[in-house]
Structure formats: structure tokens, C-alpha cells
Structure 1
């Protein structure tokens, strides 16, 4: 059975009421189809006062906020390599790596918080470069590690104790000579010779390691106990013991704890890609926000990463889409605007109709599929149509929009005219918003050849409110144009009742473009356009036509 995929249904970056409501409704349609995927309504930006009012009016939550559709670490295959304790032996760590086909092990504390990592190169380096006979003590090696690594038994001493003083010495000389090089607390590797064992204890050894499983007499054990000397016996020969002894050291002696490269599940893969490729370590720990270990990822995991799936509503322009859309898997597009600049890797279901609102198309889909429209969603779709068509005053409004709104209003139990006034009144209450919040409440960027500009729009039923908005937004027009690196910036202050727009302009060629498009030049950066209320059907087409004529030499 294939894994259930999560698919976001998403509008444009600065969502209006249509963008939000259509996303919620189309997610409902897709989930009703029950194709095995889970569809989630999402938003790519902050919602406006108007949209907030609509959602509250019909008891619906805001869609999930997704400002970047790029893949994250959580979308990668995170390998659940278990974390290890810093006290385990190097040999055990090496064996675990071999069993799990891993080259890096995470080291965690008792609360699963990441303390460090150890790599196969760290272990190999420690083995090849460890020529210091005091290293076992410096590493504070637990006797339990020595017992495990050397397959040994402890005849005298505490298995939980730590060997932390002295050298490691192999007793191959005559007992008389041994007294000259065995020092206090040394670990002495010896055979079954009673004299050698006795000489080591009398010289102050801290531990004797008896090889080849030789018997250790009771008298030696008693003497060792009286002199606080541990006694271990192993079936291994002297060479093997000498070979393995450095493998007893705990990983904490060689683990990496500084400048660790770690990632969190929410990190975007495009942001971590360079870091992974420019670091010699092959595997990287993933930790949560509390520092707790989650798993491991490697560079090869980037190759098989699952793209996030998305359905776009109310737009098909790359400049208006959520960030990183080029790295997402687009499954469908439902829109009512001109065909834009988005490209897909594979064929997709693309439904684009010349109506005044995406919600009108969504309503048609409900009817075509025989799905009942829930009253709350009917209220959302009706609100979207009233908003996009300016209560049927916009030239974008069609008979299909009007018929859909009337049918939906009946399901939702509202009156189009009175509810529309309520909605626009709530939406134009902008006193507590900053110029930036107002400016981006309904803002879109457009690209035509070498010309790139932005257009924002605010609808109001009050001329005096538009006067105040023009005063507040004028300084921000220049600031926004500069910050975005655009050649021109425009803002439509649309009066719904008068069916007109004050167009604010900024940019070196802005006045010329407006004059070419409408036959009159702005005065003091503003022009009044009677009968112009639609950005999509009136302003943008006029600009495109003017830009095309200029590019074609006036043809």
C-alpha cells in the first residue's frame, strides 16, 4: 500500500478573500474524492481584515501558513540510528557501525540530548596514532569495557571502577628486571608465571591482566586484594590483548563535541545543501528544538528526497507563487487570470476560466462532481465572489459569477447585498494597520519582458477613508519599490460605490506608462480613473498593451 501523501492547496503570496476561500473549498472537494491523499488548505501570506471577518463569520479557521514550499529535512529519509552512551568502548562502537552499515554514531546523554558524534575515521585514527602507554588511563577507561573487549573475567576488583592512573605494560622480562619498569598503578599484561604476577603486585601495579585463561592462585588473588590490585583473566593471548587494549577506551575520549554540524527537521534542504557538500563529514545529526537527537541524514539522502505536493488556486504566475515553487510538485492549477509564467515538470490538470472569481469555478466543480456544498463553505465561496467582483460592479463579473453567488447565498443563508456591505466595511477598517500591512494586503508582482512592477489594491466604500489611505501610503510606495528592486510601483485606491480608482504611481517610467495606457498623465503621482475598478481586467491589460506598443516601436 502506497504512503498517504499530504498535498497543500495554496493561493498566492498576498492572499485575498478569493485565494483563501477557494483553497479551503477545493481542499474539501479533493478530500471528498478520497483518492488516498490528504489535502490541506494553506496560505502563503497574512490574511486581510476582510478575509478574517469572512472566516470568523462562517466559523472557519485560518488555513495553515506555508511561506516556503521547498522540501525540509523532515521530508528526507531520516535514518534512525540509535544514540550511544559516551562510555561504551571504541570496539563496541566499531561493531555497531558494521552491523548498521553506518560511518557515524551520535552520542547522547540520559535524556537523549546530543553530546557529540564519533566517526569511523575517528576510531581508525585513534587506533593508528595511539602510541601512548598512558592513553588507557587518560581516557578513564571503565573496567567493564576492558572485560567486554577482552572477553575477560574479573577475579579481584570492582567491574564498575575506572582505570585512570598508570601505564599499560607487557611483562615479558625476568621478574627481577620487571621491578625496574613497573610503576605504581600500572596495568600489567602477563602470563601464567607466578613470579611475574607476584612481582607486578609487589611493584604497586593497579591491575594485572592474565592471558590464555591461566589459573590465578588464591594466594595471588589475596595478595592483590590486600594491595588494591585488580585481577583479570582472559582467554586471549598476549598479542591479541595488546592489539585490543586500546579498543577498550570509551568513545568520549575521541568523540567530536565542538563545531558540530547539526540540522533540525524544519530546516529547508536548499539552505543546508551547500553546508553538507562542503563538509568532510558524511552523516549529520538531526536534533529537535530542545537539542534532543532525532536521527541521521547524509548527502545521499538529498538525491531521493520527496518533493512537497501542491495544488495552486487563484494564480499561475511564478512571481506570485509561494517561495520555492520551482522545487515543488504541482499537481493542479485552478485559476481565472491570464496564463502566466509558471512551468511544470510534468503535465498537470489546469482549469482556467474567464470568470470574475476562482470561487465560481470551485462551485462549478462541486456541482459537476455531485458534492453537496456545506453551508459554511458556501458562505466562503459567496464572500469570495462578492469580493472579487466588487458586489457585481467589476467588469470581470460574469453571469456565471452572479448565478453562483446567488445559489451559494441561499445555501449559506445570507443576502448578497447586505452581507457584501458588511464584509467590505469590515475589510476597510485599516486604522490599526501599518502602511506595510495595508500595502501588502492585496499586492501582486508582474513581469512583462524586461519590465517588472508591482500593483497593490485596496477597496473601500468611503471616499474619506481613501483620502486618509493615500496620505499614509504615499511614503511607502517609494520604499517598497526600492526594497524590491522594481522599476515601477502602483497602488489602486478603489471606491466601490463610485466605481472608480485613484491610481498612485512611483518610478522613473511610471507616469509615461500610465499616460500611454490611459491617455492622461498623473498629477503629483496620482491619477483618477473613472470606471476602472479591476486590476486584472482593466489596469493590467492596459499596461501590457502600452508596454507591447513601446517595445514594438508603436505598432
Structure 2
């Protein structure tokens, strides 16, 4: 069984102490508790200073944690395997009974969701009265017919499809049969060889010989000469006639339009609102690439698991990652004043009046008897030097200074020399390629006949975003074509000023963007005041306009 994940995270707009403390403490917990998986994370973009530190000590940049609200990926996902749209109705029903489910997801070879088949669809296919051409209209594969009738192929290609003609039962005299069987018909027949040959001569597409009767070589040879499929079934004529419609592919009955599905990253609170308005019992889940991954039911939402987190370098709600009140806080390690954060139950809370969280974490390494590697020593030392301004800050204590000197020796760095390089380090998007910038926070969406992508690039100043815009604009058309999108939108989001400059590519992108916000159309881009959320402020507006076209 996979270990539960515990996210170790600092405050929003993280400084060097916040990032390094998360990494060092996650490492300590991993050495002292093997029942959980401790992962360091960050609650915002790292600074130039922190980037320098991580690069210097060859530490990976922690993954971004924007929100700890309970998501679909935190609930129990039923890994019901997706089925092909060519699956027979009978096979679908049997799978539902075995899996004890009422819904099967229908996917293509690339795991893209094509539809849903539910027990009600199957019941409808059994109960409704259809004419004798329905099997052909459904483009039923002969392999489905063989499987449904527990039959075997005697002549012809089982991978072919019955696409023309009608289904008839060949009864009566040879003359009667000759008058009833037409070209491309599928004929259910007994053991009368003369009648079988008449059907083949009439260029039927398939004959099904019932009751397991032997089929002569003359019939088989005649069938092969005319490319007629011959199937033998152990069922009698009545049973065969009753069962054969169950061989139709589920694509003829499945729901294709207006499918209600959710993404792994969707938040449970939002999902509950949607699910409460829908009568379905089960819902499909898609991943970040819009591939099918599993199903969940209403009951699963009631048993959602809260994310477990450890907070370092802060203890105030305003500084914590979004929706911290929905998470289960296990520990808090901090050196600031006690703030407003509340927990449901008692937690391990270590707060000391020191200049840096890194100092506290080093003490905990010593208390637990865990070796401090040069990498961990370097990270904790850098955090202390940063927070105490190389011991010049009034918050610095003798404990901080002596700890930093010990750690510097382990990391084999000169305190003054390293600190000077660290403070001189600059940070922007210069170290990332244009492709990396565009893809770092990119998602694809589908609405109607349109497929469009949205990339969000955030920064703390419009000046930096203007530089990024100049770099990425020449790549937009290329990215749109490579990802096979109808439109591509790029949000250049100014976090401090709470605004987004939206640029785009695609024949209708400018028109749709302008209509979504009742703004004049511009080929270069539009300024969106107060818009910073892709999910809640951009995507719904774009889809509303697209759906009206």
C-alpha cells in the first residue's frame, strides 16, 4: 500500500528560510518516520536569492502547492477500466455484474473519454422494439455476434462488420427462403444444407447455424467463395433470435453529449455543488492531459481524505497556503510570534525565539541523532545567513550565529564569501526558455467543437511581464499548431496589481476574448482588471462565449 503523503510547506511569497526549512525538515522526517512520505513544497514562486541557494547546493526546487483544499485526487477513485465503444451490450452487462457497477466509461485507444454506458441504457436496448435492420445500422462486428452467441467462426472474417441488410430467420421451404433472403442479409438458419446454400447463393453477408449442427464442407467452400461469414452457435433458433441484438456495440446506446466529468485537481466543494444538481450515481475523472483515470460516486465525496501538512516558518492563516483550514495540520515549526492559525486538534508546535527556522531544525537533527549532510547543512546555513542578514539583524541570537558557523564548516563554505554571492544573485525569467515559460502552468480545455489551451504566467511586476511577453509572443502560433489547438490564450498575470494582460493565437481567439469581457477587440491582447484566476475568472467566460457560437 502506498504511503500517505505529508506536505511540508512554508508561507506564501516564500523566502530562503521558508524553502530551505521545508526541504531540511522533510528530509529529517523521512529519516525518523518511514510510515509516511514527506514531501517539501513551496507556496509561491521562489526568489532569485533562493534559486541561487538551491542551485549552489544542487537541491531540487520544491513543487508548488497553491491550495490544500480537498481535491478529487484525495478521495477514493474506483479504477474502473475504460471499455471500447465496440464492446457488445451483453459483454458490457456482464462486466457491470462482475465489477458491481452501474456505469462503464467508454474510451478510445488514447484513453480519451468518448461516452458512458449505464444499466438503464442496456435495459432500454433489451426492452425497446427494433426493426430487423437495427443490427446493421449499429455496425455490429461479427466477433461481437460470436461472443454473444457463444459461437465459433466456421468461415469468413470475424473482424468484419455487418453493415447492410436485415436479420431474418430462414424458415419454410427452399422456395420460401429464396424469396425472403436478400443480398447482405444476416440469416439465422438450422441444419438444412440446401437452405444454407440458397442463402449463400443469394449473397447474404452471414449465416448463423443454430443448435450446434454440423456444417458441411460444401457449405463452407461456397461461403468462402462468396466471402460469406458462417457462425455456429449451440443455441436453438429461438434463443439465438432473442440474444442476437445483445451483440450490438455499446456506441449505439451510450451517452455521448454533455458528459459530466471532473478533473483530478478539481476541489471537492466545487464538485459537490455540481453533483448535487445531477441524478447520476457515478462520474468519470480525467487527468491533466484530459485522459480518463477512474470513476467516483457520491458516496466517495463523503469520505474525502484531508491533505496532511506540516507548516514551517509561519503560523498565521494569512500567510498560509490557500484553504489551510481544510487540511489536517500535523506540526508547526516556527520562530515568529504566535498568530491566528487554528487547528481542529492538538498538534506538535515548536516555536522558539530565534532568528531563523533553520536554527530550530538543526537542533532537531541533533536531538534525533540524524546526520547532517553537506547539502542539508548548506541549505540551513543559507537560511540563517539570509534571515539574520549575516548576523547583523537584531533578531539574530548567539545560537543562530554558532549554528550557522557549524553548518558552514559541514557544508565547506566561507560565510562572508557565500553570503555576498547569495545577496548579489538576481532573479527573473532569464534562466528559462520561452517553451518552459509557456508550459510551466498550461492546461487544455474542450468546449463544443473547440479545443483551446490556456497558459498562465505570473510575476510581481508588470515590467517583468512585459519582458516575458516580448519573448513568448513569437512562439504562440507555433505552440498552437504543435498542440493541435483551435486557440491558445496566455494570461500574463500581475499578482500585486491583480490584473491580467491576455494575449492569444488562433483565428477566433481575439473575438472570443473580447466578447467574454465586453471589451474592444484587439489583435495584440486585452487588459483584464481584477482577473487573476484561470479556473474561475477566465475559463467560464470563454466557454460561455464559445457555447453561444
* TM-score normalised according to structure 1 size: 0.68
1:164 aligned residue = 163
Distance 1:60 1:438, change over 3 A: farther
1:101 aligned residue = 100
1:83 aligned residue = 82
2:399 aligned residue = 400
Alignment of 1:257-296 (within 5 A): 257-288=256-287, 292-296=291-295
1:339 aligned residue = 338
Give the Å deviation of 1:334: 0.6
Distance 1:199 1:302 in 2: 61
Alignment of 1:245-324 (within 5 A): 245-288=244-287, 292-324=291-323
2:50 aligned residue = 51
Distance 1:63 1:129 in 2: 58
Q: Bigger CA drift: 244-253 or 406-415?
A: 406-415
Q: What are the Cα deviations for residues 121-158 of structure 1, in whole angstroms up to 9, with x where unaligned?
A: 22222222241210011112222222221233455544
Q: What are the Cα deviations for residues 380-410 of structure 1, in whole angstroms up to 9, with x where unaligned?
A: 3233233323344444333433443344344
Give the Å deviation of 1:332: 0.4
Give the Å deviation of 1:21: 1.8
The answer to whether the Cα contact below 8 Å between 1:287 and 1:295 also exists between their aligned partners in 2 is yes
Distance 2:164 2:461 in 1: 72
SS at match of 2:127: helix
Distance 1:224 1:162 in 2: 16
Distance 1:311 1:11 in 2: 9
Q: What are the Cα deviations for residues 245-291 of structure 1, in whole angstroms up to 9, with x where unaligned?
A: 11011223333444444445455545544444444443344445555
Distance 2:320 2:16 in 1: 16
Whose radius of gyration is greater, 1 or 2? 1
Q: What are the Cα deviations for residues 271-321 of structure 1, in whole angstroms up to 9, with x where unaligned?
A: 544444444443344445555543333333333343332110011112211
1:374 aligned residue = 373
The answer to whether the Cα contact below 8 Å between 1:430 and 1:438 also exists between their aligned partners in 2 is no
Distance 1:430 1:155 in 2: 71
The answer to whether 1:40 aligns with 2:42 is no
Give the Å deviation of 1:55: 2.9
SS at match of 1:83: coil
1:243 aligned residue = 242
1:352 aligned residue = 351
Distance 1:414 1:176, change over 3 A: closer
Aligned residues: 445
Give the Å deviation of 1:202: 7.1
SS at match of 1:255: coil
Distance 2:208 2:406 in 1: 91
Distance 2:4 2:291 in 1: 27
Give the Å deviation of 1:37: 2.2
Give the Å deviation of 1:93: 1.7
Q: Bigger CA drift: 199-208 or 15-24?
A: 199-208
Distance 2:202 2:56 in 1: 89
The answer to whether 1:437 aligns with 2:436 is no
Q: What are the Cα deviations for residues 319-362 of structure 1, in whole angstroms up to 9, with x where unaligned?
A: 21112322322110011222222222332101112223222222
* TM-score normalised according to structure 2 size: 0.69
The answer to whether 1:149 aligns with 2:148 is yes
- Which sections of structure 1, spanning at least 5 residues, go unmatched? 442-477, 485-555
Q: What are the Cα deviations for residues 81-117 of structure 1, in whole angstroms up to 9, with x where unaligned?
A: 3333333321112112211222233334455554444
Distance 2:498 2:144 in 1: 65
Alignment of 1:416-455 (within 5 A): 416=415, 419-426=418-425, 437=460
- Which sections of structure 2, spanning at least 5 residues, go unmatched? 432-456, 465-493, 501-549
1:364 aligned residue = 363
2:122 aligned residue = 123
The answer to whether the Cα contact below 8 Å between 1:21 and 1:380 also exists between their aligned partners in 2 is yes
The answer to whether the Cα contact below 8 Å between 2:308 and 2:327 also exists between their aligned partners in 1 is yes
Distance 1:151 1:418, change over 3 A: closer
Distance 1:183 1:121 in 2: 34
The answer to whether the Cα contact below 8 Å between 2:3 and 2:36 also exists between their aligned partners in 1 is yes
Give the Å deviation of 1:13: 0.9
